[in-house]
Structure 1
Amino acid sequence: MQAYEFINNLIPPLKPTDKTKMALSWMEEIRTNMLPVVDKGEFKGFVSDDLIYTKNSPEAKISKMELLSPACFVYLDKHIYDVIKVSSEFDINMVAVVDREGKYLGVVTMEDAIGAFADTLSIQSHGAVLVLSMFMTDYSLFEIARIIESENAKILSSFISNDPLDDSKIKLTLKLDKTELRHIKATLERFGFKILDHYQEDNNISEEQERIDNLLRFLNI
């Protein structure tokens, strides 16, 4: 799950000597709103269609543009989580990947990164999603797993975030291998765990739609 594994080779880098009209043509062809700029193997930042339209000079060179987010990059061996984190920090939909000497290798798009993120969370696996709220001091995945396994179910993946209803607590999202949650919920509540929400599969929903919906729930979108 390292960054270099998800480089999108369909997105070409621009050179400072390229003209903005060529950049717009490439963006239209590959259906993106920005492209990376690389000079002699060094990542310099991104240029967006908005910047080019504002400049309103199709013959201008990329070197005349004020590039976006020159620090929006990760090293090739960073985890895909780091790619998503950097993308969020810079509010940009692609992240450059460089080697340890700073040489540009390519970019990872957020579409590809989120797809990889979904796979790590077992989004495509059949099962239900359970959301718990607790103090961090009460968090023990071992204990929670023991309780869930006592109901003949297993945790496929887990995800921790801040509880939006209480800043002093965390929200634990669990993907389970069972679709029926009634007994599991009752057992967890008996042990004092607060259940914020749950999502059970609907067999009438297509697998693709199910994957998207579950991912959005995991990311709390």
Structure 2
Amino acid sequence: MQAYEFINNLIPPLKLKDKVKLALNWMEEIRTDILPVVEDSRFLGFITEDLVFTINNPETSIAEISLDNVSCFVYQDKHIYDVIKVASEFHSNMIAVVDRENNYLGVVTMEDAISAFADSLSIQSNGAVLVLSMNMTDYSLFEIARIIESENTKILSSFLSSDPLDDSKIKLTLKLDKTELRHVKATLERFGYRILDHFQEEEGISGEQERIDNLFRFLQI
């Protein structure tokens, strides 16, 4: 799950000598609104469709433009989690990948990163999502798993974050292998766990949009 594994080789880098009209042509051809700019194997930043339209001169060279997100990159051995984190920090749909000598290797698109992230969290597996709230001192995944498994249910993956309703608590999001949560919820509540929300997924649903929707539900974005 390292960044270099998800490099999209269909995204070409622009050079400083290239003109804006070439950027527009490539954007239209590969259906994107952002492209990387590279010179001598060094990542220099991104040029966006909005930036191009602001310049409003197709003959302008890339060298004359102040590029966006010059620090929007990750090292090749970083996990796909880091790719999504950097993309979120820079509000970018594309992240450059470089080696430890800062040589440009390619880019990862957010679509590819989300697909990889969804796979790593078992989002594609049939089941349901359960969201719990608790104090950090009460958090024990071993104990929670023991309770859930007592109802013949398995935890496929988990995600820990702050509780948006209470800063003093944490939120634990669990992907379970069963779609029916009634007994699991009742057992967890009997042990004192507070359930914030749950999502029971329908079986047999497929497609990229459903995959992304499931991921967002899992992360509570």
Q: Deviations over 1:167-221 (max 9, x none)?
A: 1111111001111111111110111000011111234x62236433321201223
| Cα distance between partner residues in 2 of 1:58 and 1:211 | 38
**Structure 1 Cα separation of the partners of residues 150 and 49 of structure 2:** 55
Are 2:173 and 2:219, in contact at CA under 8 Å, matched by a contact in 1? no
- How many residues in Structure 1 have an aligned counterpart in Structure 2? 220
Equivalent position of 1:34 in the other structure: 34
The corresponding residue for 2:18 is 18
Instruction: Measure, in 2, the Cα distance between the counterparts of 1:122 and 1:217.
Output: 13
Aligned to 1:174: 174
1:10-159 to 2 correspondence within 5 Å?
10-159=10-159
Matches of 2:219 and 2:64, distance apart in 1: 38
Deviations 1:133-158 (A, max 9, x none): 01111111011001111111110000
Equivalents in 1 of 2:202, 2:83: separation in Å?
Answer: 32
* Contact 2:151 2:183 (8 Å CA) reproduced: yes
Cα displacement (A) at 1:160: 1.1
| C-alpha distance 212-44 of structure 1, shift in aligned 2 (>3 A) | closer
How many Å separate the matches in 1 of 2:181 and 2:220? 20
| Separation in 1, partners of 2:176, 2:205 | 19
The answer to whether the 8 Å contact 2:130/2:173 transfers is yes
Given the two structures, how large is their TM-score scaled by the length of structure 1? Answer: 0.96
- Using the alignment, how far apart are the partners of 1:213 and 1:102 within structure 2? 34
SS in 2 for 1:27: helix
2:205 pairs with 1:206:
yes
TM-score (norm 2): 0.96
Q: Deviation of residue 61 (structure 1)?
A: 0.5
Gaps of 5+ in 1: none
CA deviation vs aligned residue, 1:13-60 (integer Å, no higher than 9, x gap): 000000000000000111111100000000000011111111111111
Question: 2: distance between equivalents of 1:202 and 1:90?
Answer: 34
Deviation digits for residues 105-156 of structure 1, max 9, x if unmatched? 0000000000001001101101111110011111110110011111111100
SS in structure 2 at match of 1:207: coil
Query: Which blocks of at least 5 consecutive residues in structure 2 are unaligned?
Result: none
**4+ residue runs of structure 1 moved beyond 4 angstroms?**
none
Work out the CA distance in 2 between the residues paired with 1:9 and 1:137: 46
> What RMSD over aligned residues (CA atoms) do the two structures have, in Å?
1.1
**2:97 alignment partner, SS class:** strand
Q: Answer yes or no: is 1:196 the counterpart of 2:196.
A: yes
Distance in 2 separating the partners of 1:78 and 1:207: 29
Amino acid at match of 2:201: E
- How high is the sequence identity, in percent, across the aligned residues? 75
